[in-house]
């Protein structure tokens, strides 16, 4: 059904993966000018919320912002028969907004996380948007980055977008200040992508490892050194000592790789 709805009866979709958009945003200013000159080419789509009698904006959030900038009081909208709080509504809003070409990696990750927080399973989300579960999980990992990186994307529309690099920053660099330092170096072209990826991977914490030898002792080691735990070291025979020396050599060789 198509009808005109007052702007004060509209409210943001909680599953809208965009943020920090104001009527003074350059994109909104440009869109408002186009609407003023050419009219509204495509109606927005809304879903009625029975809890308060208002409408969730499913598609067309930017058009609503442009109308507000123009001082308009109402906008033409298609009213969906989908329940505003249903999974279908969440999926529909998510898929529509993820199709936008100008979403940055943080916005995409936030959209995925919001979908999961709303009760959707990772499997449902993956099947609906045609992504693998590992791909979605890697994307969401970006949200662990320094908040300054999130804010940077919100304020710089032309920021360089590299989901793989952001994932590696989050996965390998645990120091939040270091994350932001490296991110800014990349954004300001002070360091190339491949060089930064190599640098980031060297900062990844090494996992501890253990080598079992003859079931009598363990060699536990990490990037800081080697610790030996043994039960029968004082009574090793020649065969066990030889196995022990071989294991130690393997451990040392692994540090040289």
Chain segment 137-170, per-residue pLDDT in tens:
999 999 999 999 999 988 887 788 889 999 999 9
**In the predicted structure, residue 256 carries a pLDDT above the cut 80:** no
Q: What is the pLDDT of residues 227-243, one digit of tens each?
A: 444 444 445 567 766 77
Q: Which of 205, 224, 246 is the last residue of a domain?
A: 205
Beta-carbon contacts of 172 under 8 Å, excluding residues fewer than 6 positions away, are: 200, 201, 203, 204
Q: Are residues 196 and 220 in the same domain?
A: no
The structural domain count of the chain equals 3
CA distance linking residue 255 with residue 224, whole number of Å: 10
Question: Contact 47/56 with Cβ under 8 angstroms?
Answer: yes
Range of the domain at 237: 209-256
Q: Give the CATH number of the domain where residue 165 resides.
A: 1.10.10.2830
Average pLDDT taken over every residue of the chain: 79
For 70, the token pair is: 């123009």
CA 20 to chain centre: 17
| 98 assigned to some structural domain | no
pLDDT (tens digit per residue) in 114-140: 778 877 788 988 888 888 999 999 999
In a domain, 96, yes or no: no
- Which DSSP helix (H) or strand (E) runs through 225? strand 225-230
C-beta of residue 219 within 8 angstroms of C-beta of residue 210:
yes
Question: Is residue 136 a part of any domain in this protein?
Answer: yes
């Amino acid at each position: 059904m198509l009808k005109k709805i007052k702007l004060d009866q509209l409210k943001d979709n909680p599953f809208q993966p965009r943020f920090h958009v104001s009527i003074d945003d350059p994109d909104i200013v440009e869109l408002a000018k186009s609407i003023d000159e050419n009219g509204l080419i495509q109606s927005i789509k809304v879903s009625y919320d029975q809890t308060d009698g208002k409408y969730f904006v499913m598609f067309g959030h930017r058009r609503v912002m442009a109308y507000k900038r123009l001082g308009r009081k109402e906008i033409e909208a298609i009213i969906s028969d989908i329940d505003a709080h249903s999974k279908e509504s969440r999926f529909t809003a998510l898929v529509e907004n993820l199709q936008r070409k100008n979403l940055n990696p943080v916005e995409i990750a936030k959209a995925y996380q919001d979908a999961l927080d709303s009760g959707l399973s990772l499997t449902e989300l993956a099947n609906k948007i045609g992504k693998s579960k590992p791909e979605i999980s890697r994307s969401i990992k970006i949200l662990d980055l320094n908040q300054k990186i999130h804010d940077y994307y919100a304020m710089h529309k032309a920021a360089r977008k590299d989901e793989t690099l952001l994932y590696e920053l989050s996965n390998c660099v645990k120091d939040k200040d270091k994350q932001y330092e490296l991110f800014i170096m990349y954004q300001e072209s002070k360091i190339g992508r491949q060089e930064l990826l190599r640098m980031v991977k060297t900062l990844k914490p090494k996992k501890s490892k253990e080598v079992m030898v003859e079931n009598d002792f363990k060699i536990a080691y990490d990037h800081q050194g080697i610790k030996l735990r043994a039960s029968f070291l004082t009574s090793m025979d020649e065969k066990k000592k030889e196995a022990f020396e071989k294991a130690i050599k393997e451990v040392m060789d692994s540090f040289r790789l």
